[in-house]
Amino acid sequence: MGIFLIGILSFIPIESTASLALLFNPKVSGADNVEGFVKPDEPIQLSVMGQLPGNIGLNGRLLMYEAGPNGNPFFCSEVGAFNECRYLASKSELNGNKVFSLPAFLIPPSGPVETISFDGVVDEIPPEITSFSVSPSVIGQGQVSLSFTVEERANSGSSSCSGLKRIKVAHELGDKDFDFFVPDCTIAASIPVDVSQLTSAADGMIALAAVAFDRLNQASQEKTAQFEIDRTPPIVLQDTLQLLDAANKKITFAAGQKAAVSAVINLTEKHPDLAKITADFSSLSVDNAPKQGVCTAVGDAVGCLFSDVVLEISLTNSYPVLVTATDALGNTVSQTVNYPIAFDNAAPVGTGLMTTYHTASGVNFIGAGQNNITLAIREDGAGLSLADVFLDVGEINGSTDIKADQCIKSPAVTGGWECSWLDYVPTKPDGLKQISITSSSKDDLGNPFEPSQPFEVIIDTTPPVIQVMNYTPLFPRSPKPLKINVNITDENEGLLRISASSFSGDTFPKGGTCERVPGTTLQSCIVNVESLVTVPADSSFNVTVIDPAGNKAQAQKSIRLFASEGIGPSECFGAAVKEMIPNKIDRRVGDITQPDPLNVDAYVYLSLQRRDGCEDAEILDMTVECPEAEGNLLSAKPYVDNEFSLNPFIALKLSPAVSSSPADVEIKCNLFLNVKTDTKVFELPEKEEVKPIIRLYNNAFGPTEVNVQKTLDQLKKDIEDTADKIEDYETYMSIFGSWCTIAQIVGQINGLAQTVKATMGAILAAKWTGCASASPVGTACMAAATALWKITCKINSYLHKKVETYIWPSGYPPFITPVKPPMATVIGMLSKYGCMVRFNCALCDFSAWVDLAINVAGAVAQKVSAGKNPQDVQSDLDKAWEQYVKEKQKSKMPFISKEKFALEIGYTSPPWINQATGEPISGQTLDTYVPDQSNIKTTMGYTYDIKTREVTNVRPPQVGYIQKHLDKWEVGDLSYPITSRPWKRFADQTIPTEIPNINSGNWIYDPYRSIEYAKDCFCIPPLVFNYQKEMQLKCLQQNCWSAHLSAGTSPIVCDDAFHERYCLYVKSAQATIHGKMDDFFDNLIDFLWGNLPDLVLSFVYSNTCSVYINAHPECSKPPVAGAYNWACGVLGAAMTWREVESAVNTNYGFNRYETYNKELLGSGDFCSGGGSLE
């Protein structure tokens, strides 16, 4: 064929101009006859139109290139004037091309060969539906729109396509085709279809499936879509209809009055986009027209709101409401809903009030903090949701109309409602108060509350006071239970809780039992604590008390736990009889042969000594038994007094049988000691045997009677002598005291007169100077001024001379002035200083020495020394410490440190001791401490020793007798009930912790407190006052003797008591310690040195003005010459006035005597009204 073609082609150019053929309209198609597109694997139909000149047929002349060895010819047939040539090509001829161009050539009879190409595309990809949807998605009746988007491509290498032929939609009624037959590669179309053509269903989801076909009938993948048929109307939910008040609370009650409310009702609707809803509320009020509501989706339902609904009913009934609802699909429903409303015009009633703090019995309290108030209310109607409930709490905090913070319905409250007022703090005083419901209160319908009685509450803002916390036993140890006692004061009973987990295994906090003491606010509480630790421990327990008003009090108390030793007694002490009181007993006292024989009280004074190794042993308590003597020698059971010390007393009541013994009587007793150490307590008592001997004397009362009578007679004589002495001194005071009063008044008059003289002198001197001239008028004026000055000067100078000479001279005594005055002035000095010393105690009171200084009072307070200096106090302590150590060493007993010893003897709070621990402060000791001399405040006690009758300012252990403050006379201190109990040398006496500050501003040198000072100061009024005290004590001593003799006991205790009180109240123990004015002159020198300017001024006056004291030559001269005279007069008058003023106001003058004496005798005259030192 190739040779053939070459041969043909070789002559084509030759023939090309000789012949002409025409080929046109070449076509390529497949089985579906879509021009230009064929499906894969199907024959390819080629066709072309053409002709040759002369109507030469084309058969055999139109050949395909490379279709065969000689080319495959087309099959041509005539079609009108042309030939239509066809050729069926195979896939192989495409050589794998998806877009192809097949060549063909025409061999004409003559002329050149003509070629033509057949172009086509292999369409191997079916169409694709990229979107398929139905709108609307929900419909009731009518048409829906089916929307498609289809994309078509022939193959991956081509942008051409064969086009869309049709879309088939499958539905429940069958298939529906939508023909297109368009060549477009992308088609978007929307086709309306009546729903009746797609489904016969009344409701539900309708599913559709679409398939697209291209023009070669290639089908796409199926694409689905759906829509919903909804022909169901909305459903009105009858139970959801509600009428709402302004607070959006459902209205179930109405009071009959017209009110604007709102209504809500819920519907169920598949699609909550409702178009319209109306409701007819005319049954609730004729003012209501049909209203349209506003609906919103509420979850699966639809809620519709109707505003401005008028409510006006007067009966309890069910009211119909017609509701019509239409959804957007045209589905409509009309339904009648019945709404029940009850008629309510009943008044609410407050049934009870309760506060945050209340008792089970219903007592309500208002505490100091924030308090809540709850009111229970009976309200069976509309309710109280609006909380329009008001209280008058004016008695609580001043507010009279307070709205409730909230009101809630509560089935636990009688009446079903409770309202609360929160966080109220009281501002009014404690006490019973009232709270009432105000007239503003109403329920949600406006029904006012029924009037009720006020509710009572108690304001209690005062916390309890924990007064006493103690425990028993005093030395707690396991397994003994610990009883904690707490005393509380509070107006109301509180709740007590104890926490003691640090030393007990009990469950805490732990409560106890409390009892109120009748008629008081005191509560006594007891809490039992068990399961104590078994080892020694220092711990504490906490006490919390909460009263009914919530007020809290807390306290803590330290406690020491001990171990228990139960194997045997301690054997730490030895006992010995130290003294019998009384030392001897008169047999006649208890003689059974005498009428009314007496049981005699006797006391065995014991001394207990610690044994070696028992230095920390202490006595808890002790008891005594005398089994052999009880019922025989003793008429009563013996007992131990002062049982916690090392010097106890055994009290014995001797029977009259003792007096019948011919010899002294020995009474055997066993002393049982309960002992502890620092860490443990011995449970078994230690037994010590003592054998006191009762010494008896006298078979007859004769000799004793004589001695007793002598003593009584001497006491009576002493009292009478003292009374006479007092009477003499009082007579002396009445005479010379009057003179001193007159002298003081005259001295003041003199001072006033000299001031007048000086004033007149100054005025006349000025007048005389102003009149000086040579004229007759000036001369007469000067003469008149001179004459008036002479009269004034002579009169006042005469008075001044007499007073200075005989009554009250100014300045220092004459023996220290350089100019010797006449003897008459000495008489005046004796009068002046006699009054100052004898009646105003000037030697004891520096403030009376005003003629030494103008401003003495302030200087004295700063300059006079303050009693014993710190070194003297230190010396006293050192001596006491040395004596104490010697005694302990002698008895082979341990002794404490000097610092602790200082605490024992009365220094309760020395600066060198840490008050929290009781131990010395580092770097400070008793030896290095020196008090501030300007402010000495010692805590020393003062002790009177009955044996030595001496006073010391230290109190070594077990040496003192009785301690007293020594700063005033107190009649109550003079009575001691000792008729049935011994004089206790070491009993519980009050040890003073402070005494007055010892300096000149206090009472050192106070003659009214010490007869020694009164004598040393030569001052009569305080001397008489001390004699009065002495006489009262002697009368008490006399009465005491009489009482003891009547009781048959020894009166020696009366003498002891008298000497003690004489020392304390007449001689003065502090004065004895301080000394008898030994430092007086030292103080005087300090005083004079500190006031040297005033002293110099007084000397200047005495020297310069002495010539004018008794002579006044300037009185005859013009007034200008008398300036020196009247200047000295004014200075002397000022000094005299100050001296007299000071003498009158002295601390210790006779003007004080009457006051002190009245206080003394006004408290009780023991010389006429009885009284005893017993």
**The CATH number fitting domain 349-459, selected from 1.10.238, 3.40.50, 2.60.40, 3.30.310:** 2.60.40
Q: Could you give the CA distance from residue 559 to residue 562 in angstroms, rounded to a whole number?
A: 10
Residue at token pair 């005989």? 806
3-class secondary structure per residue, 147-171: EEEEECCCCCCCCCCCCEEEEEEEE
Amino acid found at 182: V
- Residue 815: pLDDT band (50, 70, 90) is very low
Query: What does the CA dihedral 626, 627, 631, 636 come to, rounded to 10 degrees?
Result: 40
Nearest-5° Cα angle at 749, 743 to 751:
105
pLDDT at res. 824: 54
Of the candidate ranges 111-120, 930-939, 1096-1105, 1157-1166, the one whose mean pLDDT is the lowest = 930-939
At 843-894, the pLDDT tens digits run 776 555 544 433 332 223 223 222 333 344 444 456 556 665 665 555 545 5
Alpha helices of 351-468 — where are they, by DSSP H? 394-397
Position 938 pLDDT exceeds 60: no
Residue at token pair 């399961």? 531
CB distance 34 to 162 below 8 Å: yes
Bond prior to 1051 in cis (omega within 30° of 0): no
**The CATH number fitting domain 235-343, selected from 2.40.170.20, 2.60.40.10, 3.90.79.10, 3.40.50.360:** 2.60.40.10
SS3 177: strand
- Residue 1162: pLDDT band (50, 70, 90) is low
CATH numeric code, 573-700: 2.60.40
Amino acid found at 509: P
pTM: 0.39
Joined together, the tokens standing for residue 422 give 């929160």
User: 527 φ, ψ to 5°?
Assistant: -125, 125
Q: Could you give the CA distance from residue 102 to residue 122 in angstroms, rounded to a whole number?
A: 13
Q: Could you give the CA distance from residue 199 to residue 587 in angstroms, rounded to a whole number?
A: 145
Q: Where are any strands of DSSP class E within 274-348?
A: 274-280, 291-292, 294-298, 301-311, 317-327, 332-343
At 570-605, the pLDDT tens digits run 888 889 888 887 777 766 655 444 455 557 778 888
Q: Could you give the CA distance from residue 119 to residue 117 in angstroms, rounded to a whole number?
A: 6
Sequence-distant (6+) residues with CB within 8 A of 14 are: none
Q: Comparing C-alpha atoms, which of 142, 301, 297, 141 is closest to residue 230?
A: 141
Joined together, the tokens standing for residue 640 give 């131990």
Q: Half-sphere exposure (CA, 13 Å, Cβ side) for 839?
A: 28
Average pLDDT over residues 606-622: 87
What are the C-alpha distances in Å from 721 to residues 134, 952, 1028? 145, 31, 12
**What residue spans define the domains of the chain?**
2-122, 128-229, 235-343, 349-459, 465-561, 573-700, 734-863+1093-1150, 870-932
CB distance 318 to 340 below 8 Å: yes
3-class secondary structure per residue, 951-979: EECCCCCCCCCEECCCCCCCHHHHCCCCC
The domain made up of 128-229 has a fold known as: Immunoglobulin-like (2.60.40)
Sequence-distant (6+) residues with CB within 8 A of 403 are: 387, 388, 389, 390
- Residue 360: pLDDT band (50, 70, 90) is confident
The domain made up of 2-122 has a fold known as: Immunoglobulin-like (2.60.40)
Q: Could you give the CA distance from residue 124 to residue 158 in angstroms, rounded to a whole number?
A: 11
Q: Can you say whether residue 985 is alpha, beta or left, with left for phi > 0 and alpha for psi between -120 and 50 degrees? A: alpha
**pLDDT cut 70: percent of the chain above it:** 70
Query: How far from each other are the two terminal CA atoms of the chain, in whole angstroms?
Result: 176
For 996-1035, the DSSP string reads: ---STTTTTT-TTT-HHHHHHTT-HHHHHHHHHHHHHHHH
Joined together, the tokens standing for residue 428 give 């009014």
The domain made up of 465-561 has a fold known as: Immunoglobulin-like (2.60.40)
User: In terms of pLDDT, which residue wins out, 725 or 816?
Assistant: 725
Mean pLDDT of the chain: 75
What are the C-alpha distances in Å from 350 to residues 10, 371, 452, 458? 133, 20, 7, 19
Residues comprising the chain, all counted: 1174
Residue 1141: CB atoms within 10 Å: 14
H or E element in which residue 831 lies: helix 823-834
Q: Could you give the CA distance from residue 747 to residue 832 in angstroms, rounded to a whole number?
A: 10
At 94-127, the pLDDT tens digits run 777 888 888 888 887 777 778 888 889 998 899 9
Strand-strand pairing, 174-182 and 164-171: antiparallel
Rg (the chain; Cα; Å): 67
Residue 1135: CB atoms within 10 Å: 22
Position 58 pLDDT exceeds 70: yes
For 579-615, the DSSP string reads: EEESS-EEGGGG-TTSSSPPPEEEEEEEEEEEPTT-T
Domain 349-459 identical in fold to domain 573-700? yes
pLDDT at res. 457: 95
CB distance 1087 to 846 below 8 Å: yes
Joined together, the tokens standing for residue 851 give 């003629």
pLDDT at res. 1167: 75
Sequence-distant (6+) residues with CB within 8 A of 978 are: 1053, 1174
